[in-house]
A and B are shown apart, each in its own frame.
Chain A
Amino acid sequence: MSNGAATRRLLLPGSSFYVIFFVIPFVILGLYSFWTQIDFKMHPGFTLEHYQAVLTTSLYKGVFLRTIIVATLTAIIVVPIAYVLSYIMQFVFPRKGRILFDIILVSMFSGYLVRIYAWRTILGKEGLLNATLLQLRIISKPITFLIFSNWSIAITLVGLLIPLALLPISSSMANVSKDHLEVAGDLGSRGLNMHRTILIPMVLPGISTAFAISFILAAGDFVVPTMVGGTNGVMVGNLIADQFKGLAPNWPLGAALAMSVLVVLIAIHAALMRLVREITRW
């Protein structure tokens, strides 16, 4: 009795669930971006008015720009840190590497909302950081740029995303053995040069994924800007969330915003990856 066909049927329940509750809702969301909503009722049809609004409203443009800046900043900080961590865990402390990895993963699951709120208390004007620095007389006035600014958003996001970025990078790096690096060193490639010409190209798929995930998740977040971004720290995520949970919801507009964001993010990510590939070519 052949095992293959019967086993393959086991893919069905999971895949169907995915298709019904993940793929189809996404498609419907895309569809919605072309509909109109009047008095809380959906009107199917085809209109580009929402996309027009996205492209022309100056408020949106400003928010988009800030979102991209913050997301890029976050990803640019997160990915190198995750890369270095992964390198240390695999090659510098190989025996303790596994435990370190687990500890870092645990941090990822230790609460989302509450950690964001904690950063607020740490970074705020009367928060922990300022209070400590003031008491130690390192500064005489509280630092204010760290809260309710792009920086606070970035700092918080970085703390949330490092573990997530670590996953694809360390997975990619696991395919590189110490022998590869020793051979490289033998042939004259050491230190920074080794990383640039040998290791980074070898783990490029993992780096690319890590960058994509950090970038996209940072750009799509709305809780962090709400908590630590202040009134000027509005990002695209807030705009979208407002269309669904705000005072005057407009679902098609929210859908159009979401779709636009995704398109922009993917385009930027692709461009950046081209860039990296060029840099690591000697």
Chain B
Amino acid sequence: MVTSLMLISKRQLRRSLRNLSPAIFVGVVLSYLFAPVIVTVLFSFTSSPRLSLPIEGFTFQWYESAFSNPLFVDAMRNTLILALTSAIIAVLLGTSFAFGITSIKGRRRKIALTASLLPAAIPALVLGISLAVFFSGIGSSQGLLNAAIGHAVLSLPFVILTMNARLETFDFTTLEAARDLGASPLQTFRDITLPLISTAVIGAGLLAIALSLDEFVVTWFNIGNEMTIPVLIWGLLRRGIDPSINALASVVLVSLIIIVTLSNRLTHRTEK
């Protein structure tokens, strides 16, 4: 009896050891990926202007100086406008596209999906300059509208991906049932389709907002003299090391993490 107990724990010990190196690997990678985030947040509170350990004092001064930057208010307003506009466009276009894809089967469907993911696979630089060239060609001067369209193009692949995943588990016979029971196409959409996709739509929308909030490259080439928070941060960075950047950056970082985590929660809940 005792010997069998000892044997069991030996096996468990071996399994734990076998799981140790993968666990360490994952730990190292996670630290590597999140080191910049942690560093930024940490140093946004330090009262010493030098960026080294140990942290000497705890202060909110960098936050105050960041928010009192006169350019901040404008940048914030533009950022929010762009985020909402581009997210709405991306969600409308992407959701209808995902529904359309359900009518294609087999290889052609795979090709259509892969094609729709292209904007994520080419450097934002190329996208930015080609849009700049395009807009100048059609006479649309640089500004918020151009940037909004650029953001929508970038967000579309992710919206389509999210909605497509949701629709793969969607029971389309329920729509037939509704029509059979007397619902017009519009009523069917309102009573059945919409409630069943709403969480996925919001999740996709949040993702699009996050992408837009963080977007720098395409924006920079197309927004002209206007400013968004990333563009503002870029400007500050070019001028030199300024601790208030850490404060601004931390706000952005934390907001993004919250938004994306929320989005993940929502899109997973429907993927049962």
Contact = CB atoms under 8 A, between A and B. Distances in A.
A and B touch in the complex (CB under 8 A): yes
Interface of A: 3-4, 7-15, 17-18, 21-22, 24-26, 28-29, 32, 81, 84-85, 88, 92-93, 100, 102-107, 109-119, 121-122, 126-128, 131-132, 135, 158-159, 162-163, 212-213, 216-217, 219-223, 227, 237, 240-241, 244-245, 251, 254-255, 258, 262
Contacts of B116: 14, 18
A116 B36 CA distance: 8
B131 A122 contact: no
A109 B19 CA distance: 29
Nearest to A254: B129
A273 to B, nearest CB: 15
A219 B123 contact: yes
B82 interface: no
Interface residues of B, number: 82
Contact of A14 (B94, B127, B221): B94
Nearest to A23: B118
B177 to A, nearest CB: 13
Contacts of B35: 118, 122, 159
B68 interface: no
A115 B34 CA distance: 9
Contact of B30 (A103, A105, A132, A258): A103
9 contacts: A21-B150, A102-B268, A110-B34, A110-B257, A112-B214, A113-B234, A213-B120, A220-B124, A245-B221
A258 B152 contact: no
- Interface class of chain B by DSSP: helix
Given A92-B19, A162-B29, A262-B126, A114 B156 contact: no
Interface string B155-175: 010001000000000000000
Which A-B residue pairs are the 10 nearest by beta carbons? A220-B123, A14-B97, A131-B52, A11-B100, A118-B36, A10-B100, A25-B134, A114-B249, A25-B130, A7-B103
Contact of A92 (B22, B50, B94): B22
B176 to A, nearest CB: 8
Given A7-B100, A132-B53, A244-B129, A17 B249 contact: no
Interface stretch (B2-10, B37-45, B58-66, B194-202): B37-45
Contacts of B119: 22
B221 A121 contact: no
B121 A159 contact: no
A128 B51 contact: yes
A28 B233 contact: no
B245 interface: yes
B210 to A, nearest CB: 5
A225 to B, nearest CB: 11
Contacts of A116: 36
Contacts of B130: 25-26, 28-29
B88 interface: no
Contact of A216 (B50, B121, B259): B121
A177 B78 CA distance: 47
Contact of B39 (A29, A81, A88, A121): A121
